[in-house]
Amino acid sequence: MWLFLTTEFMMFGGLFFAYTLYRIAYPVAFFTGSHHLNVTIGTINTFLLLASSLTMALAVHAAAAARRREAERFLAATLALGLGFLVLKGFEWAADYREGLIPAVRWTYFDEHRDATERLLAAGGAPYQVEMFFVLFFSMTGLHALHLVIGALLLLAFLVAVRRGAFLGARSQPVEMMGLYWHFVDQVWIFLYPLLYLLGGLRRGI
C-alpha cells in the first residue's frame, strides 16, 4: 500500500509541479482564471472531505475493536460524504461547461454564457495562458475525482463485507489500508483547494 501511495504521490506531484511553474510564469492569467471558479462549492467540498476523513478514522477504529454496527455506520457516512463531494463537483463542472470554460470545447448549448466568458477571459490579456489554467484545473480535479470514485466503490465493497462480519477485530487490516487510501485522496484535495480556488476565486460564489 505504501508503495502504491508513493507512486500516486509522484503522479500528483508532477501536476503540482507543472501548476507551480505555469503560475510563476503567468501569475495574472492564473489569477484571472481562478476568478471563474466557484469558491463556495470548493469550500463546501473541503469540509465534506475533512468530515469524511474523521468518519473513516472512526470506521478503522471500530473495525479494529470488532464493533460491526459502528464500523458499518462510519463506513456508510464516509461513503455518503464522498458521494456528496462528487455530486457538487458534477454541478460545478456542468456550470463550467455552460460557460465555455472547458479547454478545447468552444461550443455549448448556452452561447450567451460562452460568449460572455470568452470576453472576460480575453480582457485578461492572455486568453491562452488562462486556458492553460483550466487545462491544469480539469486535469487535477478530474484525476482527483477519479480516485474518489474508485474509493467510493471500494467503500461500498467494504461496507458489504463488514456487514457480513468480515474485516473485524484481528482481520481489520484491509479496512486500515482503505483508510490510508482515503486519507491520501483527502490530503490531495487539501492542497488543490487553496492552489486553485483561493488564488483569486473569492469573488465568485454559487
Q: Residue 170 is part of which domain span?
A: 2-203
Burial of 24 per CB tally in 10 Å (0-12, 13-18, 19+): exposed
DSSP codes, 103-117: TT----S-HHHHHHH
Give the CATH number, domain containing residue 59: 1.20.120.80
User: What is the total count of domains within the chain?
Assistant: 1
Is the full-model pTM beyond 0.75? yes
What are the cell numbers at 139? 486535469
Contact 194, 178 (CB under 8 A): no
The pLDDT tens digits for 159-202 are: 999 999 999 999 999 999 999 999 999 999 999 999 999 876 45
The pLDDT tens digits for 15-53 are: 999 999 999 888 888 888 888 899 999 999 999 999 999
Among the listed residues 149, 133, 163, the one whose alpha carbon sits nearest the alpha carbon of residue 19: 133
Contact 56, 182 (CB under 8 A): yes
* Distance of alpha carbon 149 from alpha carbon 193, whole angstroms: 18
- The chain-wide mean pLDDT, for the chain, equals 87
The pLDDT value given to residue 15: 92
The pLDDT value given to residue 7: 82
